[in-house]
Amino acid sequence: MATKAGSVLTAVIFLALSAANCEEEIGNMHMLDVQERITRSFGKKPVSGYPTDCSKVRGKSGVYVIQPTGSIPIVVYCNMRTDGGGWTVIQKNNYPSKITWTEYWTAYKYGFGNVLQDHWLGNEYIHDITSQGTYKVKFLLVGKHNQHRFAEYDLFSIGNEASGYRLHLGAYIGNAGNSMVSTSSSLVHDNMKFSTLDRDQDRSRLNCAQSSKGGFWYNSCQWVNLNTLTIVWKGFCSLCRSSEILIKPTDVCRRAYLHK
């Protein structure tokens, strides 16, 4: 019995040490709770290196470690079910959300929430991922009567922090409505800087992040607001049940437009 107890203790210590090593190595381990860090025990970095995004993952939907080119490893949720799989999830919000979304610049920079639940991956990491190639984005929405809609843009990237994490979108397809690129110049989200409670970079006289209770690429103010307790996608729902933002490499060759 003593030997068995000793073996169990050794296993627990090993898992805890593995989790501790991961915390030092992985940039956003705070986006998994303590129990998940221990039970998942990501272990040592593979000899071949981590995949650069979820399109390089071979497996089912779940939490993985990726390492964008020139960046640090991070934990992400890979959606392997939607439209061929290989999607890196950068946002998830379910009404009523378990997080407030009224976070400051640093929280939106490095991410918050839990990658298994409601979360924002982090602007710095989203920038790192989209800087290593040409990406597309898919917004998945569920309305208050359980209607499922999507909006996809064939190009997606955000600039670095010095640019205000400026958003760049390509051409739209979908059935949710092209609300990220409104016909009203004061409500277009494309080409907008990211705004938070403590960094007002929108074009409104108001602080849109404050009045809308969440950080986003606001104009003056918005047709879309996914990072809030009341999810809005103009033309589809004013109180959506959920939103999810997925990104994936694309073969569309208009990278010069993305970084204009």
Closest CA to 182 of 209, 211, 210, 220: 220
Q: Say whether pLDDT at 15 is over 50.
A: no
Average pLDDT, the chain: 88
Phi, psi of 130 (to 5 degrees): -75, -10
Task: Quick: pLDDT tens for 189-221.
Answer: 999 999 999 999 999 999 999 999 999 999 999
Q: Say whether pLDDT at 257 is over 70.
A: no
Q: Does domain 45-258 have CATH number 3.20.10.10?
A: no
Residues 6+ apart with CB under 8 A from 83: 138
Residue 135 contacts residue 165 (beta carbons within 8 Å): no
Closest CA to 215 of 128, 129, 113, 69: 113
42 or 231, which is more confident? 231
- Overall average pLDDT of the 84-113 stretch: 98
Task: Quick: pLDDT tens for 62-88.
Answer: 999 999 999 999 999 999 999 999 999
Q: Which pLDDT score, from 0 to 100, does residue 58 have?
A: 92
**What pLDDT band is residue 40 in, cutting at 50, 70 and 90?**
low
Residue 52 contacts residue 78 (beta carbons within 8 Å): no
Interatomic CA distance for residues 39 and 34, integer angstroms: 9
Q: What is the DSSP-derived secondary structure letter of residue 46?
A: P
Q: Which pLDDT score, from 0 to 100, does residue 44 have?
A: 74
Q: Which pLDDT score, from 0 to 100, does residue 43 have?
A: 63
pTM exceeds cut of 0.75: yes
48 or 156, which is more confident? 156
Interatomic CA distance for residues 161 and 102, integer angstroms: 19
**What pLDDT band is residue 252 in, cutting at 50, 70 and 90?**
low
Q: Say whether pLDDT at 5 is over 70.
A: no
The full set of domain ranges for the chain reads 1-43, 45-258
Interatomic CA distance for residues 53 and 246, integer angstroms: 11
Token pair belonging to 39: 């039970």
Q: Which pLDDT score, from 0 to 100, does residue 10 have?
A: 29
